[in-house]
Amino acid sequence: MRCTPTAKLLRVLTLLLLLTGAGLSAPRPAAAQGFWAGSNYKNGLRLYLSKDSTSFIRLLMWSQIWTRWQEQNPGTSIAGNNNVAQTWDVGIRRSRILMHGQLTPCLLVFWIIGANNQTFNTGGGGLQTGPDGVTDGKRQSVFVHDAWTEFKVSRAFSLGTGLLTWSGLSRLSNTATLNFMTLDSPLYGWALLDANDQFARTLGVYAKGEIGKLNYRAVLSKPFSIPEAATGWTTPYTAAQRAGASAMTTLPGRGAGWAAGLTALPNAYDVAQFNSRAFNQPLYQLYTNYDFLEQESQTLPFMVGTYLGTKKVFNIGAGFMIQPEAMWYRSRRTAAPVLPGGVTLNAQQTTELNAGRYPAAITGFSGLPEAQRILLQQANVDTTRATMRHFSVDSFLELPFGPKGEQRSSLTAYAVHYWFDYGPNYVRNAGTMNLASAPTSPGSQTLAFNGAGNAYPTWGSGRVFHLQTGYLFPRAWTRGFGQFQPYVSYSRTNFDRLNQPDNLVEGGVNWLLAGHNAKITLHYRARPIYSAATNLVPGQEGLGGMQVTSRRSEVITQFFIFF
Amino acid sequence: MRSTIFRPGVGRWLTLALLALLALPGLLGLTGCINTRPRPMSVACTMSPAQFVERCSALLTANNYQLIEADPSTNPARVRATRGQRQTNIGENIQYHGPYLLTATYAKGGPVIVTVATTMRRGSGGEEQPLILHTHDEGSGTNPADRQAFAPIMEGLRRACAQP
């Protein structure tokens, strides 16, 4: 059942009323700091192990809870319900504990454990008990996110190793999760997210340092392996490929969750996918930036989203992420199509082959004898490995206005431009905390290129520009009511494979009850819906020609506390 | 299977280049040519060594330093003090500055020489020489937060030395 505009409006108004009511009913003491502003918090739980405070163990814990109303992508199946138009849910975006130990200022050990993205239907611990036979939402698995050690030689050079958040490419690739300005990360910077990294972390070695006001972080990683079944082909042609069945099948057991879009190498020329046989190829990453005003901390990898006016920062940065042979794709073995001896095609099939159509996409291919199907593909199709190469330039600004205290306001802005190269025509859809179990008709082409749930094209070969800006109003304006920070973001994604770039505008407001330590964020997004693939692109039949046809809305409220 | 885009051998060069990139700052750091070389700051002065020790000690104490040595009888007269580490949470991240070791020396007729360094541990005795992690001066290469730790001392010494 589709939600009428009036019903939608009612839901949004109810949500706003609840939020406003909660604030109005809060006690409002006379102190300018406010009831909510946890001025007594200081630096949180820290156990000092030496008299001079240089040896300590620090503990942080946090939860980010999302309540959402979402329109779903066309053809979304959730928990056995087909073609779900819209739904609501409460989910755990992040729930983590951080431990940071400093034996001396030169020896550091760091650890984060936690869970992410649990919804009522997805994100569970691996028991395949859902109505669709995929992983359900129960018994979320807790895992180690970060585990690394660092040895500091000087301010200019520290060396560390382990399971690392330390990353190259851009500020967003190293983003902190406790001081976002927008609701969450726009994801673009986590360019390998759960493909061959683990939740934006890799096993590797890093060097970091500050030379004057120039900061750098260089990382050499051994990427996680990718199951062959997830992205590869096994022996020359699998049964499904011989039959010409669509290769656009999501991973079994993963539903359309985080791994949506990490599909099998498609039956088409020049459409790249992650290479499950990259084995000994390391991942090289570098990010460097120059601080023109105050210098940011690089003690830990997490880069700040907004300082809420506590620092005056302006920097310009650049970075890269390169992995040889990270990708592969099916290529043409010869410049002109070949009809090998022993293969008999009718006139239409011959025309299609000569027009450059991928052999398995030729009309009636599955009706050919198996030996002929194999001969035809072996004569025409090869596999090429490709280097993954991403580059970015970015800039961050935090500009406080007014004196310190309740009159202070601040402007925060961040802009980044990415040049992504995942190999030809790679596009990956992603939807945070995706509720979908599967497309409504599993195994067939989905009704939208996005796939099911709330996914939309997020990474791909091409260019991405992202800009976010927000303004923190002075506390004096709201006193004990907290502080407000409205923000907007704009992303332009222009992926080679899609026939149309997208301009995505999002917006929201942070209600800062105690700075970043306790805040409620209201966020709105209208994601693009790309049409299902067509046969318009020769060699990529059933895989090209996608255009933005509509948008689907979502309203997300985040309740966030950390200390 | 052929690889046309990435030829064998290039990966090795990329690895070597990255390892060199990792090693270079380390070598520079180890040799001390970037951050641990002495960077003394001087203030022209005409007061007596006893006055210097008295005023410098007062300045340091007022700015949360702990004196570990204040001796007008040595030549040059010397004041040494330390300040503990200051830590600030920034979300998951943390920023800390210090501990600092500040040494000021003065011989009649010469300038006051001040050296400031972040050290491994906060010093506790006059003879202790804490391991220096990096030195600071008033130039733009010093982190503003580090500069704040000794800027009031330098200003105070300049004012004191300017007095007839």
* pLDDT digit string, tens, across residues A124-179: 776 555 444 556 788 888 999 999 999 988 788 899 999 999 999 999 999 999 99
**Mutation target among B16, B35, B93 for the A interface, most CBs of A within 10 A:** B93
The Cα A503–Cα A493 span in angstroms is 7
A211 interfacial to chain B (CB closer than 8 Å): yes
B112: tokens are 């006051």
Q: What is the pLDDT of residue A135?
A: 62
Selecting from A104, A159, A179 the residue whose C-beta is nearest the C-beta of B91 gives A179
Q: Which of B18, B25, B122 sits opposite A52 (nearest CB)?
A: B122
Say if B20 is an interface residue toward chain A (CB within 8 Å).
Answer: no
- Whether residues B85 and A383 touch (CB distance < 8 A) is answered with no
Strands (DSSP E) contained in A197-251 are: 202-211, 214-222
Q: What DSSP designation does A475 have?
A: G
Per-residue pLDDT tens digits for A490-537: 999 999 999 899 999 999 999 998 888 899 999 999 999 998 877 777
The DSSP 8-state label assigned to residue A74 in this structure reads: T
- Name the pTM for this structure: 0.85
Which two structure tokens, joined as six digits, stand for A484? 């407000």
Q: Which of A330, A535, A552, A324 is nearest to A426 (CA)?
A: A330
Token representation of residue B48: 């007596």
At residue B81, the pLDDT reads: 93
Residue A1 CB: number of other CB atoms within 10 A?
A: 7
Contact check, Cβ <8 Å, A43/B87? yes
Decide if A154 and B121 are in contact by the 8 Å CB cutoff: no
Which chain B residue has its CA at the smallest distance from A284's CA?
B18
Comparing C-alpha atoms, which of A126, A377, A129 is closest to residue A233?
A377
* B13 burial level (CB within 10 Å; 0-12, 13-18, 19+): exposed
**Contact (CB<8Å) A294/B144:** yes
> 10 Å Cβ neighbour count for A161?
15
Chain A residues in contact with B10 by the CB 8 A cut-off are 324
Contact A299 B95 (CB under 8 A): yes
Q: What is the pLDDT along chain A (563 residues), one digit of tens a residue?
A: 444 555 565 665 555 544 444 444 444 443 334 444 444 566 778 898 887 788 899 999 999 999 999 999 998 888 888 889 999 999 999 999 999 999 888 899 999 999 999 999 888 776 555 444 556 788 888 999 999 999 988 788 899 999 999 999 999 999 999 999 999 999 999 999 988 899 999 999 999 998 888 999 999 999 998 876 555 443 334 444 444 433 333 333 333 333 334 555 677 888 888 887 788 899 999 999 999 998 899 999 999 999 999 999 999 999 999 999 999 888 888 999 999 999 999 999 999 999 888 888 888 888 888 888 878 888 888 888 899 999 999 999 999 999 988 899 999 999 999 999 999 999 988 899 999 876 666 544 568 888 889 999 999 999 999 999 999 999 888 877 889 999 999 999 999 999 899 999 999 999 998 888 899 999 999 999 998 877 777 777 777 788 999 999 999 999 999 88
Question: Do residue A58 and residue B94 have CB atoms under 8 angstroms apart?
Answer: yes
**Rounded to a whole number, what is the distance in angstroms from the first to the last CA of chain A?**
42
Helix axes B49-62 and B144-162, enclosed angle (nearest 10): 140
Q: Do A284 and B94 touch (CB under 8 A)?
A: no
Which pair of tokens denotes residue B43?
């203030």
Q: Which of the 8 DSSP states describes residue A247? A: -
List, as ranges, residues 387-426 from A with C-beta within 8 Å of B.
387
Q: Is A102 helix (H, G, I), strand (E, B) or coil?
A: strand
Nearest to A105 by CA among B23, B134, B60, B124: B134
Quote the CA–CA distance of A311 and B144 in Å, as a whole number. 11
Contact A441, A527 (CB under 8 A): no
CB A75 within 8 A of CB A83: yes
pLDDT band at B95 (very low <50, low <70, confident <90, very high): confident
CB distance A110 to A145 below 8 Å = no
Q: Are A376 and A343 in contact (CB under 8 A)?
A: yes
Q: What is the largest CA-CA distance in chain A?
A: 90
Quote the minimal CA–CA distance from B127 to chain A in Å: 18
Name the minimum distance, in Å, from the CA of B69 to any CA of chain A: 18
Kindly list the distances between the CA atom of residue B16 and the CA atoms of A73, A158, A204, A217, A280, in Å, as whole numbers in the listed order.
Answer: 47, 19, 16, 17, 15
C-alpha to C-alpha distance for B81 and A214, rounded to whole angstroms: 30
Asked whether the beta carbons of residue B121 and residue A52 sit closer than 8 angstroms, the reply is: yes
**Token reading at B163:** 């007095």
Place of tokens 């996409």: A361
Query: In total, how many domains does chain A have?
Result: 1
Would you call B87 and A106 a contact, using CB atoms and an 8 Å cutoff?
no
Instruction: In whole angstroms, give the CA distance from residue B63 to residue B66.
Output: 9
Residue B90, pLDDT above cutoff 60: yes
- What is the residue range of A524's domain? 5-562
> Using CA of residue A254, residue A255, residue A261, residue A264, what is the dihedral sign?
positive
The answer to whether residue B8 neighbours chain A at the CB level (below 8 Å) is no
User: CB B96: neighbour CB atoms within 10 A?
Assistant: 19
CATH number, domain with residue A30:
2.40.160.10
User: Quick check: A39 contacting B, CB < 8 Å?
Assistant: no
Question: Which residues on B lie below 8 Å from A207 (Cβ)?
Answer: 21-22, 25-26
B26, B89, B140 ranked by CB distance to A43: nearest: B89
- CA R_g for chain B: 22
DSSP letter for each residue of A123-155: --SS---STTSS--SSSPPPEEEEEEEEEEEET
Cβ contact, residue pair A383, B36, below 8 Å? no
Q: Using an 8 Å Cβ cutoff, are A243 and A336 in contact?
A: no
- Considering CB atoms only, which of B25, B92, B121 is closest to A207? B25
Distance from CA of A162 to the nearest CA of B (A): 16
Q: Provide the pairing of β-strand A283-291 with A214-222.
A: antiparallel
Chain B nearest C-alpha distance from A383 (Å): 5
Q: Which chain B residue is nearest to residue A106, measuring alpha carbons?
A: B120
Distance between CA atoms of B149 and B151, rounded to whole angstroms? 6
How many CA atoms lie less than 13 Å away from B147 in the CB half-sphere? 13
CB A170 within 8 A of CB A418: yes
Q: What digits encode the pLDDT tens for the residues B129-161?
A: 677 878 899 887 777 788 889 999 999 999 999
| Coil, helix or strand at residue A397 | strand
Chain A residues touching residue B2 (CB < 8 angstroms): 382, 384
Stretch B62-69: mean pLDDT: 92
ipTM entry: 0.74
Asked if A387 and B34 come within 8 Å (Cβ–Cβ), the reply is no
Q: Looking at chain A, how many residues does it have?
A: 563
- The confidence score (pLDDT) of residue A190 equals 96
CB pairs under 8 A between A and B: 155
d(CA A375, CA A373): 6
| β-strands A313-332, A381-401 pairing | antiparallel
Instruction: Quickly list DSSP for A220-261.
Output: EEEPPP--HHHH---SSS-HHHHHT-----PPTTTTTSTTTT
Query: With contacts defined as CB-CB under 8 Å, which chain A residues touch B92?
Result: 60, 98, 112, 176-178, 300, 302
Point out the residue among A156, A294, A385 whose CB comes nearest to the CB of B3: A385
Structure tokens at A240: 């499904």
Query: What confidence score (pLDDT) does residue B25 get?
Result: 61
Using the Cβ of A210 and the Cβ atoms of chain B, whether some distance falls under 8 Å is answered with yes
Residues near A143 by beta carbon (within 8 Å), at least 6 away in sequence = A113, A114, A115, A198
CB atoms within 10 A of CB A525: 22
Amino acid, single-letter form, for residue A110:
F
CA nearest neighbour of A133 among A80, A85, A83: A80
